[in-house]
Structure 1
């Protein structure tokens, strides 16, 4: 509140002066240039106030997306920006914020000296200020719904692609693995049946071979089912499942999981497969000597997140290329409105992080 007063004092003076000069000189066209500068100043101070609220109060107000017709001359585009509703919402905030900050400034000074004011009055004033800022500096309801619809549409498209890729993988594994084994079992048993009377020893050898193939088919089907949804994940949760993945990795992996209560099954399975694929990539390509997996639950005003972070000390250089494995993991995360980021400079270390919402 103390920091916001000088900022909005400067903003108020500049905005009033620029708009007064701009409107009064419109008859000589100089006013258009002044109003252009005023528009830039208004949007700049609006962005600065959003940054101040984010840094001081931890309130993230999304920047409204301004869309208007880009056709026509520079002045036509500028006039459309000048008359955009968000321009006037920003201006309204700056005009209201100055007297509000002037009131908050002596109140904040008093709150430093008088403890009850700081403990009980200032939070209420701050909450009202945040409501005002969200209403004027943030996107309106229509814009929010439009952005959410576009985000969900993109997420749905990526989810369909990820599901299709997973279906093809399952079909390929069935065709190349268990199906071939079962065909071999059927053929072996058929040959054994035909030899049973004439050559019992040969029939016994064929039955033994068919039995071995049947056990391999069962093993491959079990591995395939584990790839779809591992039993340990459903029975014992993410901590045990990630520890199981780490135990199978050929390099040492430290696992720290702090997730309570358990998230939805879709979140758990997404986190599990992201970690599994990342550990496989680390073992094959990273040249790392150790890795670390951290998973924790984080409370946010918009809903809890499960955050999974995989770090290795390898050679780095990993990136999300179209059609690549990491891009496929990002698509899997997007199916539940999650976001995956990769930071992997040449020489390492590599940090892969997935932010997975518990509600979507």
Structure 2
């Protein structure tokens, strides 16, 4: 079993397991990834020269003009140009290295105008990181270019030496490739043994070169990701904004569900009840027996409406969860499941109400999925705490096949958990069993 490489969203290429008859070490010199990385190293030198020259020229010019009013605009223009060159570098890394790095945060201009733009460029950390990249990447580009080209050229030249050694006696006037020479002694690689050893050394160089180039481009990946990509803080801000959108959408969906349940359930039943009581009132004097039957039916409708309202209130936030905590609330949910459920809750204290509510509704929805889709005969719920994380696990012996990426209810559940820095892991092979593990941040209940 060997590995083939494809693009992914991390620092480079992902490994896709595929069967190959040729080992990876022998395939590497001929793989597309190796040639793309070698091309990246070759292009790095001229591009880095341009970036370094531009950055040093513009920054030096701006610094020299600081005594006049032109210094600051020139300085800002230099930083803006570095940002543009950084965008080209990210695109080059995506195309040749498979490096999926996000764009950094845009300029934070609070108001339009040239002066506002200058201030935003000078205040942006991205501008200064791209300037740093433009300066420090040139020495590394020179080093990696020299190493990669020398290993590549010498490796292939020595490997193919048996094919072209005849050039020396035919056109150069010497017996072969000169290994050593002074005024009295000359050593040429011209006999079959020496030619074979030369080719073997070339083979070793050729096989080692792809891994050397890969190590060199790993440094480039780190530099592009660290200096030209978004910072951890900005990435976290984007993540939180996305999570906030998920929370808002989830809350809106819950409100629509509650409105729909009220409109189609209890509200419709109460309207029908009011009409029935109106008819019973009209018949009270004419046909007391019929009116009594109608009142009795209305009494049954009232009980049904009250039960629907209780179920709706339980779906919003059950009273047992507030009063007695997760153990009692999950036991109540398990009792309503269509399969026997064993509940084990081992918590030293109660978490914060928000986390407790999310844990409750996570288990509740998972048990509903078991009732509807799993065809299981047994399920188990375990809740415990590990350091600063609240762990939930729901297991059933059903048919399996559950998948978060299929767009089912598990997808929405995973998004809800992600909105509070939680994680949902589903292990559900076809044929079962299914094991769903949820992880939530532990936040203690405030007294």
Specify the alignment match of 1:324 in structure 2.
Answer: 408
Specify the alignment match of 1:164 in structure 2.
Answer: 252
CA distance 1:334–1:192, shift in 2 (3 Å): same
Give matches, 1:196-345, under 5 Å.
196-299=284-387, 304-321=388-405, 323-345=407-429
Equivalent pair of 2:351/2:443 in contact (CA under 8 Å) = no
Which consecutive residues of structure 1, in runs of 5 or more, have no partner in the other structure? 1-29, 37-66, 92-135
Whole-angstrom CA distance in 1 between matches of 2:286 and 2:94: 98
Aligned-pair distance for 1:265? Answer: 0.9
CA deviation profile, 1:12-32 (whole Å, cap 9, x unmatched): xxxxxxxxxxxxxxxxxx9x6
CA distance 1:258–1:192, shift in 2 (3 Å): same
CA deviation profile, 1:118-144 (whole Å, cap 9, x unmatched): xxxxxxxxxxxxxxxxxx9x979x822
TM-score (ref. length: structure 1)? 0.60
Whole-angstrom CA distance in 2 between matches of 1:307 and 1:169: 28
- The correspondence for 1:187, drawn from 262, 275, 286, is 275
Whole-angstrom CA distance in 2 between matches of 1:354 and 1:182: 40
Aligned-pair distance for 1:191? Answer: 0.6
Say which SS state the counterpart of residue 351 (structure 2) adopts: coil
Whole-angstrom CA distance in 1 between matches of 2:307 and 2:252: 25
Equivalent pair of 2:391/2:438 in contact (CA under 8 Å) = yes
Aligned residues: 246
Say which SS state the counterpart of residue 439 (structure 2) adopts: strand
Aligned-pair distance for 1:325? Answer: 1.3
CA distance 1:260–1:189, shift in 2 (3 Å): same
Aligned-pair distance for 1:165? Answer: 1.7
CA distance 1:227–1:196, shift in 2 (3 Å): same
Say which SS state the counterpart of residue 196 (structure 1) adopts: helix
CA deviation profile, 1:294-333 (whole Å, cap 9, x unmatched): 111121xxxx221111111211110124652112222322
Whole-angstrom CA distance in 1 between matches of 2:91 and 2:335: 63
CA distance 1:199–1:346, shift in 2 (3 Å): same
Aligned-pair distance for 1:33? Answer: 5.6
Whole-angstrom CA distance in 2 between matches of 1:34 and 1:336: 44
Equivalent pair of 1:69/1:77 in contact (CA under 8 Å) = no
Aligned-pair distance for 1:72? Answer: 6.7
**Would you say 1:150 and 2:234 are equivalent positions?**
no
Say which SS state the counterpart of residue 285 (structure 2) adopts: coil
Equivalent pair of 1:287/1:315 in contact (CA under 8 Å) = yes
CA distance 1:287–1:70, shift in 2 (3 Å): farther
Whole-angstrom CA distance in 2 between matches of 1:76 and 1:201: 85
Give matches, 1:33-52, under 5 Å.
none
Aligned-pair distance for 1:199? Answer: 1.6
Say which SS state the counterpart of residue 197 (structure 1) adopts: helix
Q: Which moved more, 1:288-297 or 1:214-223?
A: 288-297
Say which SS state the counterpart of residue 404 (structure 2) adopts: coil
- Structure number with greater Rg is 2
Whole-angstrom CA distance in 1 between matches of 2:94 and 2:408: 45
Whole-angstrom CA distance in 1 between matches of 2:430 and 2:282: 63
Say which SS state the counterpart of residue 284 (structure 1) adopts: helix
Whole-angstrom CA distance in 2 between matches of 1:219 and 1:155: 35
Aligned-pair distance for 1:263? Answer: 0.5
Aligned-pair distance for 1:334? Answer: 2.9
CA deviation profile, 1:156-211 (whole Å, cap 9, x unmatched): 11112211221121112111210111011100111111111222111111111111
Aligned-pair distance for 1:227? Answer: 0.7
Whole-angstrom CA distance in 2 between matches of 1:170 and 1:259: 31
Which consecutive residues of structure 2, in runs of 5 or more, have no partner in the other structure? 1-38, 46-85, 98-128, 141-222
**Would you say 1:358 and 2:442 are equivalent positions?**
yes
Give matches, 1:106-121, under 5 Å.
none
